[in-house]
Chains A and B, each alone.
Chain A
Amino acid sequence: MTHHHGPIGRRELLRRLGVGSAALPFLGNLPSLARGAAVGPKQRLIVLFTPDGTVRKNFWPAAGSLSAAVDGAPVALPPILAPLEPFRDRLLTLKGVCNKIRGDGDGHMRGIGCLLTGVELFPGNIQGGSDTPAGWSSGPSIDQEIRAHLQARPETATRFGSLEFGVLVPNRADTWTRMVYAGPNKPVAPIDDPYQMFARLYGQTRDRESLRSVLDEVREDLAAVSAVLPAEDRRILEEHAALVRGFEEELAEQRTAAAHAVPVLEPGILEDNDRMPQISRMQIELLVASLAADFTRVASLQYTNSVGQPRMQWLGIDEGQHDLSHEPNSNAAAQEKLTRINAWYAGEVAHLARRLAETPEPGGDGSLLDHTTILWTNELGEGNSHTRNDIPWVLVGGGLGFSTGRALEFPEVAHNRFLLALAHAFGHTGLERFGNPDFCGDGPLTGLA
């Protein structure tokens, strides 16, 4: 390809036009390459939400060590937790940690709205199936509290601070669909479209690549159109060509600097009920890649919503989950289906744990899972009774330094104390109360480490 330089040298022209080491406007804000220089091991938290309570008899393991053996073989995990068998030693279950928040809103609303916030909902206009109508949470969620703590320190600040993933979260903003709060009346919507999340994470990289690929065409075309112009007008195009060339060089430099593996998504997956398994896996890939790239150290992954109604036809189940969850415990068929539904969720937790375990910790020892805690939770303890006692808390991984391989039981403690313990595990020990102070009585929940 020929390239006209005109009377002034290209470098001289670039200098005059102000193109140099300074990046062009949109090239700023690159991934946090310089950030996160190792100061102690990294800590990460992923909150994973699934709806409608669990099947207690098929979920709770016997209290004590999960490695306890009978006749030389470890006791089998309950059916719902069975998919987590490979991570038995990295597992910690907490029974008796209860969401005690009262006030406005029905059980499902307070179940999700107070789950990570530990504080009442505002009065509002969202009417539940019972109780008084309510609005949004009146305080932030613990993940956002931890995010703010990490972002305030250069050594732990990341490009995004936190990322909120979703899987088939209904397209409506109300108390049942929001778990994460940046503050009072500030719900954070999860992104449940993997393509949208991809654009958020890699849009700039993609744009740079797209631009690189089209600049050749631009220059070729510039040469073609310049040829028919009078000499005076050619000058402005030569300046343009020089700028384009400088731009291209800058892109090439940025590319070298920013190189890391970008996940490849299968194109054309529609957001509908039947694609839930694919979407779940796409989101997990993006989540793992975000942690590996240190885009964030706090994330959430919200499957559907409180009162979630997925129909898991890929498991041979035609009814919606929430409808099933209202069936009495005496309905054995419903219990069996709910067990399989929850075991499917456990399988996704296990897949996430596996992907983290397979990914080496960048610049550190071990795997991502060694430095990440997955916290799997739910808005209810049980669907038909709507109890918010005995929320099924499952922790996997070593991010928070908790002692794993155990099934713990507590005597009906308020979950605010557990939320405090999460913050303290991140070194946010100045936080003495979180949510409703009346439920923080004895400080952070002890016995976890």
Chain B
Amino acid sequence: MLLWTAIALGASAAVGQSADGPGAGDHPGRAIYLQHCQRCHGPDGEGTDQVSAPLVGERSINQLAALIDETMPEDDPDAVDAAAARQVAEYVHEAFYSPLARERTRPARVELSHLTVRQHLHSIADLVGSFAGELPSLGGERGLAGSYHKGRSFDGQQRIFTRIDPGVRFDFGTEGPDPELFEPGRFAIRWSGSVVPTDTGIHEFVVRTEHAVRLYVNQRGDAEDPLVDAWVKSGTDTEFRGRVMLLGGRPQPLVLEFSKANQGVDNPNRERPTRATVELLWRRPGGLLETVPARCLIPEGAPPTLVLTTPFPPDDRSTGYDRGTGMSAEWLGAATTAAIETADHVAAEVDRLARVRRDAPDRPDRLRRFAATFAGRAFGRPLDEDLQRLVVERPFADVDPDAGLRRSILAILVSPRYLFRTDGFADGARPVADPYRVAGRLALGLWDSIPDRQLLEAAERGQLASPEQIRRQAERMLVDPRGRSKLRDMLVTWLRLDQSAEIAKDPERFPEFTPEVAADLRTSLEIQLDELLWRGPTADFRRLFTDDEMPLNGRLAPLYGVDLPATADFRRVRPDGGQRAGVLTHPHLLAMLSYRSATSPIHRGVFLARGVLGNVLKPPQEAIAPLAPDLHPGLTTRQRVELQTSPATCQTCHALVNPLGFGLEAFDAIGRHRPVVRTDGPAETVAEVAVDDSGAYQPRHGAAVGFRGARELAAMVAASDDSREAFVRNLFHALVRQPVRAYGPGMQGALEASFGEQGYDIRRLAVDIMVATALGPPASAATAGPPGAPSR
């Protein structure tokens, strides 16, 4: 397996460490451990009543030795000197503490799991969508296609011109779009294309106009129930709303029809040229009302997507990534309700999806064939006779064909073959590299979804056998809207942006930090991530930390010291004379990792230590409220944090956390650069002192690194093996949703090496991970023996 991985990745050498470490049982550190440590940590580090958490982590022997020397045993740190601490560290590291030790004692395996919520949403969207048509690509122009008509309707005869509008926000006055081409009292415009929302969730659309409008979102343009139907103008309302569930990252059709004319009986004599304005706005989940921006619109249409509205219980994220490993009545109820929701949709749309008329004589046969195709796509392989009988023939027996279709769809979607599709477990009797299983792994990994037509065709032709063939498919899939969405979601999760509630600041300290500014900052960071991922020839991971530019618009610019017109849309600028350092200094992140009126070096440090550099931190041993500034007037935030975390019990983690967070102290609680900080306390004691943003980091291997300021901190992070290791592991888990260790002890190291050799290209890494895993876990991991037995 190790050899194969190395070949598949094109890596020159596998980096994985041998699992044959020295025997831990006779290590001299064992005696010291049993004497001083086991009464709290248990004989094998499993924990006791005193310390319930198991003694496991990612620290190196060096880190661990330093820690033990300084802080252990907690009641008498002097009882263990540096040499003894070193021996204890070596022993526990080898026996049970380190990831490798854990791998030896508890071999990881690829576990059966049901679909996650995201996999459910995307699978249903693609399954039903596969009968509706292809998704447009996201590589082209932004905005909506506007079709401008003379007259009051959309008669092609009267179309004057078409053009691409960046959005819909027009004031035509009383003259109309052009008095030479249109009558001012009667013209009609249809804007069409797709909306590409950033988030999955309920979006509220708002149309403002004095005239007739219809808005279709994720519907066909001739649907009977437009999201907004104000074609009948009645009374004085000029604002019309509708709410719709949308799937993030995926084009979903949008049509806005506008008519400046009376409807009903055609009588131009009764029409007058009144003012005509029209604006299309939306409110993203958790966002503010804003004109739908051009970056979320494309002029190409798309087939409507079925977006499940069934609420699911949240997935288990205890291992750091979503996994479908919990079983509950709530989950089964949700899965069943989702199956019914899908069957409802398919039953209502089947004439179009199966291209069959209600009164067609061969309708029964056509619906049966449709159900069989549906099942094949849901299960990711053509049906054999037994399955055909189970999910098609039996449901269709003895009922009318439309009722049979509903039953069949239900049978397919509540089948364990569908719900537990992860790693094609239902094909367990087939070879691990069976091409349909490979297709299934690629689709789940890169899309959280089912294989598309091209993947299934490749499987059928046996073209998913070699790493090259798999690589070509993975590269194709990654730039698809679904692949882009998956990669973006990974970054958002990794940066914890998905867990950030609305950011609010003390209005007296930061009156400029309005809800609009907070919303724009979130958008700015999203744009920065999207540009990093997709704009250049490669998506260089290190630029996440080294980029001194960021996107700002006219509203944000003055706040962050940049000169832009007030109405400017987002554009890349270089604030503060190049003091910025990628996402680490993005004001959204800095504001998120701050208190209402002051910075929080601890939050920032934890984010760096745990999220970015991949260290394992335990929660504080007791809940501690931050020191009130009034108690120790005259201190800076940094000094107060140092004071509060000075006890030895705190230093086990804060020795790592604080110096990282201090590196960002030159940015205030809303992420503005500041050369000086004010001390806290009563007004008469407040002083301005120069920022101290020096810090340090002890990596898991090698010597400690000191730095001063965000740029040096970011350079350290960008060059750090620890950040690389953490990112590779995070991306692996986001894509494969299985422990990386289940793929052999060499997998992580080989991927890291390849990442470095390929210029830290995130896109390339995603493809490499899929190439390395699509043929399945090593046989030994897939059929792991009983717990405790070695997996080799």
**B788 contacts partner chain A, Cβ-Cβ < 8 Å:** no
- CB contact between A126 and one of B113, B232, B358 (< 8 Å): that residue: B232
Residue pair A236, B337 in contact (C-beta under 8 Å): no
Cβ < 8 Å to B, chain A residues 176-193: 176, 184-185
* Contact indicator B428/A175 (Cβ below 8 Å): no
B30 close to chain A: CB less than 8 A: no
Q: Report whether A210 and B211 are in contact in the complex, using a CB–CB cutoff of 8 Å.
A: no
A240 at the interface (CB under 8 A from B): yes
**Is B232 a contact partner of A240 (Cβ separation < 8 A)?**
no
Q: Which residues of chain A in 92-130 are interfacial with respect to chain B, using CB atoms and an 8 Å cutoff?
A: 106, 121-129
Complex CA–CA separation, A384 to B258 (angstroms): 35
Residue among A122, A176, A270 with max Cβ neighbours from chain B (10 Å): A122
Most chain B Cβ neighbours within 10 Å, of A106, A133, A135, A185: A133
Interchain CA distance A174-B386 in the complex, whole Å: 53
Known: A125-B232, A214-B407, A217-B390. A236 touches B332 (CB 8 A): no
Produce 1/0 per residue, A182-225, CB < 8 A to B: 00110000000000000100010011001101110110111011
- B333 touches which one: A26, A134, A217 (CB < 8 A)? A26
A150 CB, nearest partner CB in chain B, Å: 27
Question: Do the beta carbons of A127 and B264 come within 8 Å of each other?
Answer: yes
Q: Is A229 an interface residue (CB 8 A)?
A: yes
A268 at the B interface (CB under 8 A):
yes
**Stretch of B41-49, B411-419, B554-562, B712-720 on the interface side:** B411-419
Instruction: Tell me if A225 and B428 are in contact (CB < 8 A).
Output: yes
Question: Given A222-B416, A225-B425, does the pair A135, B233 have CB atoms closer than 8 Å?
Answer: yes
- Nearest CB on A from B614, distance (A): 28
Interface size class of B (residues with CB under 8 A): 35 or more
A71 in the interface (beta carbon within 8 A): no
Provide the B215-234 mask, 1 if CB < 8 A to any CB of A, else 0: 00000000010000101111
Task: Please pick, from A135, A228, A233, A239, the residue contacting B327 in the complex, using a CB distance under 8 A.
Answer: A239
Cα–Cα, bound, A222→B414 (Å): 11
**A243 contacts across to B, CB distance below 8 A:** 327, 329, 332
Q: Is B535 an interface residue (CB 8 A)?
A: no
Interface size on A, residues (CB 8 A): 62
**Residue B575 at the chain A interface, CB threshold 8 Å:** no
B residues 288-329 in Cβ contact with A at 8 Å = 325, 327-329
Tell me whether A82 is interfacial, beta carbon within 8 Å.
Answer: no
Evaluate contact between A236 and B325: CB separation under 8 angstroms.
yes
Give the distance in Å from the alpha carbon of A136 to the alpha carbon of B233 in the complex. Answer: 8
A124 to B259, CA, bound (A): 13
Residues of A within 8 A of B336 (CB): 24, 26, 211, 247
Q: Are A133 and B264 interface neighbours, CB within 8 A?
A: yes
Q: Is the CB of A233 within 8 A of B425?
A: yes
What separation, in Å, do the CA atoms of A129 and B224 have in the docked complex? 25
Q: Which of A24, A184, A213 contacts B235 (CB 8 A)?
A: A184
Tell me the smallest distance from the CB of B400 to a CB of chain A, in Å: 5
Please determine whether A122 and B112 come into contact, CB atoms closer than 8 angstroms: no
A138 located at the interface, meaning its Cβ lies under 8 Å from any Cβ of chain B in the complex: yes
B414 and A214: CB pair below 8 A? yes
User: Once the chains are docked, how many angstroms separate the CA of A184 from the CA of B113?
Assistant: 52
Do B232 and A173 touch (CB < 8 A)?
Answer: yes
Give bound CA distance, A190 to B426, whole Å: 46
Is A124 touching B112 in the complex (CB atoms < 8 A)? no
Closest residue on chain B to residue A219 by CB atoms: B416
Q: Inside 8 A of A217's CB, which chain B residues have their CB?
A: 390-391, 394-395, 411, 415
Contact A135 B329 (CB under 8 A): no
Give complex CA distance A415, B425 in Å: 70
List residues 235-267 of chain B with CB under 8 A from any CB of chain A.
235, 237, 261-267
A244 in the interface (beta carbon within 8 A): yes
Let me know if B112 and A25 touch, CB within 8 A: no
Q: Most chain-A Cβ atoms within 10 A of its Cβ — which of B270, B334, B420?
A: B420
* B685 close to chain A: CB less than 8 A: no
Count chain B CB atoms within 10 A of each CB in A25, A135, A214, A232 and give the residue with the most.
A214
Q: Which residues of chain B come closer than 8 Å to A203, judged between CB atoms?
A: 344
| Bound CA span A268–B391, Å | 23
Within B615-631, which residues are at the interface with A (CB < 8 Å)? Answer: none
Interface 0/1 of A371-400, CB less than 8 Å to B: 000000000000000000000000000000
State whether the Cβ of B109 lies closer than 8 Å to any Cβ in chain A: yes
For window 325-347 of chain B, which residues contact chain A by CB distance below 8 Å?
325, 327-330, 332-334, 336-337, 340, 343-344
With contacts A133-B270, A214-B411 taken as known, whether A128 is within 8 angstroms of B265 at the C-beta atoms is yes
Q: Is there a chain B Cβ closer than 8 Å to A230's Cβ?
A: yes
Across the interface, which residues of B come within 8 angstroms of A220, CB to CB?
390
Chain B residues with CB under 8 Å of A135's CB are 232-235
Choose from B111, B237, B390 the contact partner of A233 (Cβ within 8 Å). Answer: B111
Assuming the contacts A18-B329, A24-B336, A127-B262, asked whether A210 and B229 have C-beta atoms less than 8 A apart, the reply is no
Give chain A residues whose Cβ lies under 8 Å from the Cβ of B417.
221, 225
A14 to B232, CA, bound (A): 54
A78 close to B (CB within 8 Å): no
Contact B112 A237 (CB under 8 A): yes
> Which of B109, B231, B265 has a CB less than 8 Å from the CB of A127?
B265
Verify A133–B111 contact, CB threshold 8 A.
Answer: no
Closest approach, in angstroms, between the C-beta of B112 and any C-beta of chain A? 4
Residue B378 lies at the interface, judged by CB distance under 8 Å to chain A: no
A174 to chain B, nearest CB (A): 6
- Interface contact B111-A267, CB-CB below 8 Å: no
Q: Does B783 contact A (CB under 8 A)?
A: yes
Whether, in the assembled complex, A330 has its beta carbon less than 8 Å from a beta carbon of chain B, the answer is no
Closest to B416 in A: A222
Contact A127 B263 (CB under 8 A): yes
Is A29 interfacial (CB-CB < 8 Å)?
no
Is the CB–CB distance between B330 and A138 below 8 Å?
Answer: no
Determine the chain B residues whose CB is within 8 A of the CB of A293 once the complex forms: none
User: In the complex, how many angstroms separate the beta carbon of A227 from the nearest chain B beta carbon?
Assistant: 9
- Residues of B with C-beta under 8 A to A448: none
A122 touches B420 (CB 8 A): no
B415 and A221: CB pair below 8 A?
yes
Chain B residues, CB < 8 A from A233: 111-112, 425
Q: For chain B, residues 402 to 432, give those with C-beta under 8 angstroms from any C-beta of chain A.
A: 402-403, 406-407, 410-411, 414-417, 419-420, 425-426, 428-429
Further 13 A-B residue pairs, CB within 8 A, beyond A19-B329, A125-B264, A132-B270: A25-B334, A122-B235, A138-B235, A174-B232, A174-B264, A176-B264, A184-B235, A211-B410, A222-B416, A229-B112, A240-B327, A240-B416, A268-B358
Q: Which A-B residue pairs are the 5 nearest by beta carbons? A: A135-B234, A24-B333, A125-B233, A233-B112, A214-B411
- 22 cross-chain CB contacts under 8 A: A17-B327, A17-B328, A17-B329, A18-B328, A122-B234, A126-B233, A127-B262, A136-B235, A174-B264, A175-B232, A211-B336, A211-B340, A214-B407, A221-B417, A224-B386, A225-B426, A232-B112, A236-B327, A237-B112, A246-B329, A247-B333, A270-B359
Residues of A within 8 A of B (CB): 17-19, 24-27, 106, 121-129, 132-136, 138, 171, 173-176, 184-185, 199, 203, 206-207, 210-211, 213-215, 217-218, 220-222, 224-225, 228-230, 232-233, 236-237, 239-240, 243-244, 246-247, 267-268, 270
Q: B residues bordering A, Cβ < 8 Å?
A: 109, 111-114, 211-212, 224, 229, 231-235, 237, 261-267, 270, 325, 327-330, 332-334, 336-337, 340, 343-344, 358-359, 363, 386-387, 390-391, 394-395, 400-403, 406-407, 410-411, 414-417, 419-420, 425-426, 428-429, 783-784
